[in-house]
């Protein structure tokens, strides 16, 4: 006999194993750390606008080209919109001190703006 929790989705009832239930609960709790999704998506749009410039230099970042950074930002934005909470750890690395976004900002002449955006990122992440 499988021990689990009863669930109901679209009129169907079934048994959800405890392991799956725990895993999904952890994922949901992590996802709810981003309570203000619109502010978060707006932040990514601002990053994209800054990076989509002729003066952008990615030489010290993890990216090989500006186009790769823009594609990555678009993909991350879509994943957030779809509720993919695994994107959080990736964004923490990108926005971290000496992360790719900071390296790009320094080499591209907008490091002060990056500090402002990174601070907003931290505030969004901390609004649990």
| CB-based contact 75:67 (threshold 8 Å) | no
Does residue 1 surpass a pLDDT of 60?
A: no
Q: What per-residue confidence (pLDDT) applies to 4?
A: 44
Instruction: Band the pLDDT of 25: cuts 50, 70, 90.
Output: low
Cβ proximity of 56 and 104 under 8 Å: yes
Q: Give the model's pLDDT for residue 82.
A: 84
Q: Above 60 in pLDDT, residue 16?
A: no
User: Could you tell me which residue, 18 or 70, shows the higher pLDDT?
Assistant: 70
Q: How do residues 74-87 score in pLDDT, each as one tens digit?
A: 999 999 888 787 88
Q: Which two tokens stand for residue 74?
A: 């678009």
For the stretch 83-120, pLDDT in tens is: 787 888 999 999 999 999 999 999 999 999 999 999 99
More confident residue, 22 or 63: 63
| Cβ contacts of 21 within 8 Å, gap of 6 or more | 4, 5
Give yes or no for residue 42 having a pLDDT over 50: yes
Q: Per this entry, what is the length of the chain?
A: 128
Average pLDDT of the chain is 83
């Amino acid at each position: 006999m499988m021990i689990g929790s009863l669930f109901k989705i679209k009129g169907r009832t079934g048994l959800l194993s405890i392991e799956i239930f725990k895993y999904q609960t952890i994922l949901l709790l992590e996802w709810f750390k981003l309570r203000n999704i619109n502010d978060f998506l707006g932040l990514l749009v601002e990053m994209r606008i800054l990076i989509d410039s002729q003066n952008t230099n990615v030489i010290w970042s993890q990216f090989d080209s500006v186009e790769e950074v823009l594609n990555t930002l678009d993909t991350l934005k879509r994943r957030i919109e779809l509720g993919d909470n695994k994107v959080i750890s990736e964004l923490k690395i990108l926005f971290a001190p000496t992360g790719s976004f900071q390296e790009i900002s320094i080499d591209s002449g907008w490091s002060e703006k990056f500090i402002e955006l990174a601070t907003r990122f931290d505030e969004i992440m901390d609004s649990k």
